[in-house]
Structure 1
């Protein structure tokens, strides 16, 4: 599948492999959350650095992402072929793959990159953290109400 040469987008080059679709889905989600378009290209090349460089070279935005079986790279067209901007030299985690999508999009937008998450970080933890914060706030409000703080008293006009 050849990319549309006129469409400004990040080119994601994907080497077919088990688990590749899951990696691709997370990378795409990161780009979508940042609002940057992308096009996916299947390739027989397996090296993520080579894939990402090819994507950056052919992208009108100058940014390419390579998804290999054991690695993941973001490349910028002005960098040497063997020096990708970001490289993950392991299978990684869904949180890491999504951050690659964020950072590829942020490279296009010219805004600061997000910090890379740890391998064990996941998005459920972030949701659980938010739940705990809300739970503590509700508990505090209920406790203060029981102690009479913030109590709403009915106002009546006496004649």
Structure 2
């Protein structure tokens, strides 16, 4: 099954959340390199650390007629507009960062949404330029006003 999933990622029918490769790593390296998912080709040597979102895997299984344990959970929540495969890379990164940070209180702890998104992008999308990360963090920020929280009733 792992080989089938790897082939699906390499051929572009299954979109990874984070991709790692052995292509540019020295022969004695212990960790694979993260790569931008838009750089994946049929010749990429994916590492086991490559991650796929459960909802993307469920959608892929549905399209292939493969039974999976998430059928009920995703039938209630799946939205047609969430098909990120056709979106430009920065838009996909913005949506992924927004969803990841917004749903993780630990990622938000002690920082603004914009800085939490920027930190997530730096660790999960290292191939993005600093300018791209700043643009994405600005767009995906759900509290763009900033400043101290308002006093209730004022």
Who wins on radius of gyration, i.e. which is larger? 1
Bin for the TM-score computed over the shorter chain: under 0.3
The structure whose residues are more often helix, as a share, is 2
User: Could you state the TM-score of these two structures normalised by the residue count of structure 1?
Assistant: 0.26
The structure whose residues are more often strand, as a share, is 1
